[in-house]
Structure 1
Amino acid sequence: MVDTPFGTIEFTHTKRGLAEIIKHTMLAKGRPLRIATKQATVRDLLRAGRIANMINRSEFEDQLQGEEA
């Protein structure tokens, strides 16, 4: 875990390959790390059981339907 002025960043292990990670992330100008897409973020939060209660579910209804089944 890394504490920042904006909150804590928690890194978790994944078995996904590099190509899969790249596919679901994007470069952000002025940022040194790739940023996950919204869809990948929701998928991974639900899979890891992290702060899922903080997700605005109405914004991601399409993505959530397949993940919660």
Structure 2
Amino acid sequence: MLRQHLHWRRLIGSTVQIRQHGQLIRTGTVDDAMADSTALWIAGDATQPRTMYEAAPRIEVWAHPEEAED
């Protein structure tokens, strides 16, 4: 089961969902993240370029609990 993650740096290399206002807007692999979790980058793929998402109201990052490194 997916859960929301607040510590984005722990998700580098993980497959995540980016949700805005509760709606799925992107699924992809976290390529990099700021140490303070203010932004992360989803790696580009065949259909979408590498994209940065900033921490903002209503932007959420969801992943399986085992995806986050401790």
TM-score class, shorter: under 0.3
Q: Which has the larger radius of gyration?
A: 1
TM-score, normalisation: structure 2: 0.22
TM-score, normalisation: structure 1: 0.22
Return the structure number with greater strand share. 2
